[in-house]
Amino acid sequence: MGSPSVGALIWISVRPLIRLVATTASGYLITRADLFPTVAARGTGQVLLNITLPCLMFSKIVPAFTPENIAALGPLTLVAVVYQLLGLLLSVIIKQFFWVPHRFRYGILVAGCWGNSGDVPTAVIMSITAVSPFGGTKDSTLAVAYISVFILVTFVRPLSPLRALSERIQISLFPLGGHKLVAWDYAGPDEEDDEVKQKLKARNKRLLTSAHRMLRHRKASDPDIDIENTLPSLTAIEKIENIEPSELLTPISERRARFAIEEPTLPHSEPGSRPMSPTPSQLTTVYERQSVAKDTDSPSTPTTPPSPSPPPTRWQTLRAHLIEFLKSLLSPPCFVILLSLLISLVNPLKGLFTPVPSLHIPNAPDGDPPLAFVLDTAQFVGAASVPLGLITLGSALARLRVPRGDWGKLPMGAIGGLAIGKTVVMPFIGVLICQGLTRVGIIDEGDKVLRFVCIFFSCIPTATTQVFLTQVYSGTGTAENLAAFLIPQYFLMVFSMTALTAYTLNMLF
């Protein structure tokens, strides 16, 4: 097979994105025309998550995986975990150097770590692998089977590095499972943007002065160290040191210091609880209960404060996390993926759904395996998964509202950093990682579908599921902060995916 020309590579890369944009635009337009209300979008999302997506995974995994290629699960899982950790690291770095709105201080971690591993990559990869230079339907089916591993990792992998944020954090990306981080954005009182900026300046000042003192100490202990070339900028540090404390901290900031970004404070609660700001209905209920209690209590009856409940033990916390993890495995997508993997590896079970050359069992009257109709039904229903996902994506983008006329008040540094990091820096790092894993033999060099899928997933933007989570927990039904971070990513995605796809195809073929 000859290597495709540059023009052919560009067209192969652009064509699936045209279909993706057209389908997404249809969801955007019907939402803007008030033909696709929020209730309908949520119902469509439930159908997608619990019916069409599991059917798509079942119809692709069962015939695609064999004992010969099952070894690809290891590299796929490794790459998926590495990408999520890199995304988390990216968002942490951005948060350290650029100011982020107080109501998005945890949301940016979700935005960096939790990528759109469903509709967007499935739509593009299925289209590209179904035509030359790939092997057609066989490679397309295998590609979706590989994608299922990324979906599974996104749904069930614990984010243990997030423990660094707080001793009480243990988050897992289950279906809608990033809700705790998003909910914490709305816990406690809000802070003005100026306060957040001042705290960031104060924190950077402390970091610079600490580094300055440490290097001075090293200079005193080791005269060979050139402190003039090692320190970042002594003049800059002296300027920062001359800043008055009143310029860095306002009285409001002092009153709310316990809610600073670098030291998050969370209410002590039972495992699995959701620390959120109470809604007006909750406040009314509490007030009514307190009023009833005051009316019923006798003035002469002494009231004793309730004894605080003891904190959960380590075993209770571990058990709660284990139960939550097992529940995630029983969600329809995860359960079907695991069941499909089991069926694909056990030939007597696989032979009930699809022909297996080394197995001979009685067929149905039509000559197909006895349960081939189950696989046919799954293929029929699963075909709706990608279009529904793209339509809901367009609907979610249509509901985003970016404040117009206030661009100067937006965190442009953080917005640009996350967009460029997710769509430019991450693909560059992803190519290097996948090529390195190929050279050391972890990724099979001859499995071009595997290599393409692993590289392509380095370029996915933030998952739109975060839009629904933010709208729920904000209390106002809006996601203005997220909108400013999300829209630039999906705009740059069109160009970065085209370039990455063309480069990868040229490298593979």
Contact criterion met (CB below 8 Å) for 108 and 466 = no
Place of tokens 């160290």: 225
Residues 6+ positions from 378 with CB-CB distance below 8 Å: 55, 56, 58, 59
Asked whether residue 164 carries a pLDDT value surpassing 60, the answer given is no
Report whether 344 contacts 66 (CB < 8 A): yes
For residue 495, give Cα distances in angstroms to 14, 18, 126, 325, 490.
Answer: 9, 12, 19, 37, 9
Kindly report the length of the chain: 509
Say what the alpha-carbon torsion angle 20, 25, 27, 31 is, to the nearest 10 degrees: 160
What pLDDT sits at residue 421? 95
- First-to-last C-alpha distance (Å) of the chain: 8
Is the preceding omega at residue 403 within 30 degrees of 0, hence cis? no
For the stretch 50-72, pLDDT in tens is 899 999 999 999 999 988 888 99
In angstroms, the CA 287 to CA 285 distance is: 5
Distances (CA, A) of 126 to 95, 336, 459: 35, 20, 16
Q: Which residues of 140-154 are buried (b: 16+ CB within 10 A; e: fewer)?
A: bbbbbbbbbbbbbbb
Here the tokens at position 325 are 């993890």
User: CA–CA separation, 450 vs 453, rounded Å?
Assistant: 5
d(CA 122, CA 148): 9
Does the pLDDT at position 340 exceed 90?
A: yes
Computed over every residue of the chain, the mean pLDDT equals 77
Contacts of 233 (CB under 8 A, 6+ apart): none
Give the tens place of pLDDT for each residue, 113-124.
888 888 899 999
Q: What is the pTM of this model?
A: 0.73
Domains in the chain and their CATH numbers? 6-191+326-360+371-508 (1.20.1530.20), 194-286 (no CATH)
Query: In 3D, which of 469, 389, 350 has the Cα closest to residue 51?
Result: 389
Return the pLDDT at 69. 87
Confidence label for 435 from pLDDT (cuts 50, 70 and 90): very high
pLDDT per position as a tens digit, 122-163: 999 999 999 888 989 899 999 999 999 998 887 654 433 333
Ordered DSSP codes for 139-162: HHHHHHHHHHHHHHHHHH-B-GGG
Angle between helix 426-439 and 448-456 (nearest 10): 150
Q: Which residues of 435-447 are buried (b: 16+ CB within 10 A; e: fewer)?
A: eebbeeeebbeeb
Task: Confirm if 69 and 446 have CB atoms less than 8 A apart.
Answer: no
pLDDT digits (tens, 9 = 90+) for 263-322: 333 344 444 444 444 443 443 443 344 444 444 444 445 556 566 667 778 787 778 777
At 144 the pLDDT is 92
Could you tell me the two tokens for 17?
Answer: 């994105």
* Interatomic CA distance for residues 82 and 80, integer angstroms: 6
pLDDT at 224 over 70: no
For 357-366, what is the mean pLDDT?
86
